[in-house]
């Protein structure tokens, strides 16, 4: 379910928000799945340390092919996998083989380098996958994987939230967080919910089921609402009970990131070195993955010149 990020995805610069703004996602196909990429988006590369969000959309076919994403590498990021329907198996170069089911969090930290593969069960799959850019203090460190079958919940004003990462209200996730941030699935009741915020955090709201309102703005499934850091709370309206959305937030990274394909770095040299390591089958950096799926070759970075 990971990436890849294309050059146009990573070419944007973050703009200062005057108020809540809405961005439409861009549909694509990854690993046999329909996805809507809502981050990076026009004028916004990151929300806190969150640097990538793909919604896995319902399949067009009644009996869709299973998701198949062969072994591929990552550096400088953590992947967050959160399913709404279906099941998938994560395999990685640490020797992990983990089934992922709805309501369970899988968090893979790449650090200096990791490789993994994902295989879906033969049933419709729906969910969201996100990347968190690692800070300088950890992005060159060791890779890691953790899975949490149980996560804390907190009652909000007219809603309930499951906290995947960070803290919301008086609930704190047990999952690793390298920077100050929050990621929560909020299940709304009909009417208005006000999600509490933290001072200086940037925020985004991603609908997971249908259409909601954020402030005065309609936000459809496959879209993203950006919330400025001075908001005292985030007002979210639903027309019926049970609508869900993802609330993402975090302190600004403070440093630009460069994203290309499945890599997050700070400059072209870092990305080029990772690409060369994967191309040269550098098992010291990425390691082998036990998978029935074929290894995914990395295209050359657009700035790389041969000959």
- pLDDT tens-digit readout, 30-39: 877 889 999 9
pLDDT reported for residue 11: 45
Which residue reads 């609402």 in tokens?
Answer: 225
Which DSSP helix (H) or strand (E) runs through 273? helix 268-279
Q: According to DSSP H, which parts of the chain are helical?
A: 7-10, 268-279
SS3 for 8? Answer: helix
Predicted local confidence at residue 9, as pLDDT: 47
Q: Which domains does the chain have, with CATH numbers?
A: 7-250 (2.60.120.10)
Per residue in 139-170, pLDDT tens?
A: 999 999 999 999 999 999 899 999 999 999 99
Residue 14 confidence (pLDDT): 65
Q: What is the predicted pLDDT for the residue at 16?
A: 62
Instruction: Give the per-residue pLDDT at 97.
Output: 97
Nearest to 195 by CA among 166, 155, 151: 155
pLDDT for res 233: 95
Low-confidence ranges of the chain (pLDDT < 70): 1-18, 60-64, 306-307
Cα 224–228–233 angle (5° rounding)?
A: 90
Tokens coding 261: 């394909």
């Amino acid at each position: 379910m990971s990436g890849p990020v294309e050059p146009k995805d990573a070419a944007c610069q973050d703009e200062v928000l005057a108020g809540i703004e809405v961005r439409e996602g861009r549909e694509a196909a990854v690993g046999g799945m329909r996805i809507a990429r809502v981050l990076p988006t026009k004028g916004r590369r990151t929300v806190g340390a969150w640097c990538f969000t793909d919604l896995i959309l319902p399949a067009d076919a009644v009996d869709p092919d299973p998701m198949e994403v062969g072994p591929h590498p990552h550096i400088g990021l953590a992947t967050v996998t959160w399913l709404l329907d279906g099941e998938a198996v994560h395999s990685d170069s640490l020797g992990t083989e983990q089934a992922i089911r709805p309501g369970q969090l899988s968090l893979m930290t790449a650090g200096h380098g990791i490789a993994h593969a994902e295989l879906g069960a033969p049933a419709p799959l729906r969910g969201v996958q996100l990347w968190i850019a690692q800070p300088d203090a950890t992005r060159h460190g060791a890779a890691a994987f953790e899975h949490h079958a149980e996560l804390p919940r907190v009652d909000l004003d007219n809603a309930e939230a499951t906290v995947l990462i960070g803290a919301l209200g008086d609930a704190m996730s047990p999952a690793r967080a390298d920077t100050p941030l929050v990621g929560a699935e909020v299940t709304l009741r009909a009417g208005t919910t006000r999600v509490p915020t933290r001072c200086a955090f940037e925020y985004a709201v991603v609908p997971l089921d249908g259409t909601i309102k954020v402030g005065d703005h309609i936000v459809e499934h496959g879209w993203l609402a950006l919330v400025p850091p001075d908001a005292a709370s985030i007002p979210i309206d639903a027309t019926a009970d049970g609508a869900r959305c993802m609330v993402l937030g975090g302190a600004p990274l403070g440093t630009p990131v460069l994203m290309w394909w499945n890599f997050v770095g700070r400059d072209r040299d870092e990305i080029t070195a990772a690409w060369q390591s994967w191309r040269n089958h550098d098992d010291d950096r990425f390691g082998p993955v036990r998978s029935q799926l074929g290894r995914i070759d990395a295209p050359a970075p657009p700035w790389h010149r041969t000959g």
